[in-house]
Structures are given as structure tokens and as C-alpha cells.
Amino acid sequence: MDKKFWITQEPINPNDCIEKVVRHEAGAVNTFIGTVREFTKGKRTLFLEYQAYIPMAEKKLLQIGEEIREKWGEADTAIVHRIGRLDITDAAVVIAVSTPHRHDAFEASRYAIERIKEIVPIWKKEYWEDGTKWIGDQKENTSYEKDIPSEEEMRDG
């Protein structure tokens, strides 16, 4: 896997991201891992299903890496997002950012996860004890009760 920004169906090993950004110029690596939590506001999740338009999603992840490089000139970033069925405690997303000094690594990593939730076309379906629901955009401002938008709708949107 040579890509630094990719979507996978396989379990994620955080080291796959970390190793891509460790380098002589860096003194700090910040890693953010989003894992599947069992309870949300008292409601129990059994498992999740993520879907993505893979080429579009990878392009957006790459864009986030470029935005980080513009904002933090010496930062190097790798991001992987998993799709398919994920069980409780599985890693859904791993971000690794290396910088010369630690402050920037924290800031850039934080920026990356917020941007992923804003612009990357990945949908999450919650399987609760009492039903299922597609969660719309990842900031959960828009809800798609029945289905996610088609690829064509995405392109027009």
C-alpha cells in the first residue's frame, strides 16, 4: 500500500499510517483513531456499516492532506478510512500527522478529523438494538432515513 490517503475494507493497523509520516525532520507524530463506540446517548450500537464512493473519498482525503501542508508547511499526513461492517472497538479512521514540533502535530491532526467529517463522502449506518438508520453527513446535521445519495446526486450536490 503506497498511498498515503486511502479507503480500505480491512481492519486498520495504526502503524500503517504512522510509518508513512515518521521522518528525520519530525520530532512529533499525532495520531487520531476513531473507534466504534457501543453507547451513544444511552442507545446501544450493535455494529456499524460504512459506505463510500471510494475514488471520490480518497480524493477528498488527499485534499485534506494538501490543506494541512498549506497551513502547517512542514507537516506530513497519512489518513485511512475503513468501510464495510465494523464491530464495537474497531478503528473506522486513522490519521497520522508528523511535524518538527509537537504543537503543530496536535493542531493539524485535529483539523484533519474535523475536515473528514465535513467533506469526505462516507456514510455510516447505525445498527441499533431496535433498528437501523443511515447517518447523513458525518457531522450528523443531515439525516438520510432510508438511503444514501446516489453517486450522481453527489456529483450534482
In degrees rounded to 5, what are phi and psi of residue 68? -65, -40
The x, y and z cell numbers of residue 99, run together, are 511535524
Q: Smallest distance from the beta carbon of 154 to a second copy, in angstroms?
A: 25
Alpha carbon distance 129, 137 (integer Å): 22
Alpha carbon distance 98, 25 (integer Å): 9
SS3 142: coil
Nearer to a second copy among residue 22 and residue 154 (C-beta): 22
Nearer to a second copy among residue 30 and residue 58 (C-beta): 30
Residues that bind a second copy (CB under 8 A): 13-15, 18, 22-39, 88-89, 98, 100, 102, 105-106, 109-110, 113
Nearer to a second copy among residue 83 and residue 105 (C-beta): 105
Q: Smallest distance from the beta carbon of 29 to a second copy, in angstroms?
A: 4
Torsional class of 84: left (φ above 0), alpha (ψ -120 to 50), beta (otherwise):
left
Q: Smallest distance from the beta carbon of 129 to a second copy, in angstroms?
A: 14
Nearer to a second copy among residue 85 and residue 155 (C-beta): 85
